[in-house]
Amino acid sequence: MTTVNRKCYKTIVMLIAILGGLGFSTVASAERGMGYGGMMGGMKGGMPCGQGMYGVCWKDTLTDEQRTKLAKIKLDHMKVQAPIKTKMKTIKMDLALLVTADKPDTAAINKKIDELTKLKNAKMKEKYRYITAKRKVLNDEQRVLFDMNVIKKAMKGKQKGHRGH
C-alpha cells in the first residue's frame, strides 16, 4: 500500500469511526428519552453546566422548541467540526513521523505546522459561530445565564493535567 493510499485509508477509517460514534450517541440518547441536558438535567459528566447566580442552569429553562433548534444547531456544528478534527489528527500523525525520521525535513515539518494552524483557526471560528448561533435561540433571561457560563469557561481555560514538557 502506498503512502498516499495509507493516508486516505486512515482518514476514511477515522471519519467513519467519528460519524458512527456521533450517530450512535444520538440514537442512544433518543432511546433513553433524555432531554437536551441529558440524564442529569443539564449536567455533563456530573458537573454543573454553568449555573447562574440563582442556581439555575440555562439548559434547564429551555422550551421544547428551543431544544429542537439547539439540537439542529449542534448537529450542524458537529458536521463541520468532525472533518476538521480528523484532518488535524492526520496532520499530527504526519508531524510525528516527520520529526522522528532519521533526517527530519524542516521545510516539510513547517509546512505541516502551517496546515495544522489553518485548521485550528477554522475550528476556532466554527466554535464561536456555534456559540453565537446558540445565543440567538435563547430569550433574555436564558442568555444572561448562558453568557455567564461562556465567560466562566473562558476564565477557566482548558484544564489539562500537567504533562511535564
**Is 128 within the bounds of a domain?**
yes
- Residue 143 CB neighbours (<10 A): 15
**Is 111 within the bounds of a domain?**
yes
**Is 109 within the bounds of a domain?**
yes
**Is 89 within the bounds of a domain?**
yes
The domain spanning residue 106 has which CATH number? 1.20.120.1490
**Is 162 within the bounds of a domain?**
no
**Is 30 within the bounds of a domain?**
yes
Structure confidence by residue, pLDDT tens digits, 98-128: 999 999 999 999 999 999 999 999 999 999 9
**Is 164 within the bounds of a domain?**
no
Q: Which phi-psi region, left, alpha or beta, contains residue 138 (left: φ > 0; alpha: ψ -120 to 50)?
A: beta
Count of residues in the chain: 165
Query: Number of folded domains in the chain?
Result: 1
**Is 149 within the bounds of a domain?**
yes
User: Strand, coil or helix: what is 158?
Assistant: coil
Is the pLDDT score of 43 beyond 60?
Answer: no
Angle, helices 64-99/3-32, rounded to nearest 10 degrees? 150
The HSE-up count of residue 72 (CA atoms within 13 Å, CB side) is 7
Residues 94, 112 contacting (CB under 8 angstroms)? yes
Largest CA distance in the chain: 60
Question: What is the span of the domain harbouring residue 114?
Answer: 3-156
Task: Pick the range with the lowest mean pLDDT from 65-69, 88-92, 138-142, 161-165.
Answer: 161-165
Structure confidence by residue, pLDDT tens digits, 130-160: 999 999 999 999 999 999 999 998 998 776 6
Q: What pTM does this model have?
A: 0.63
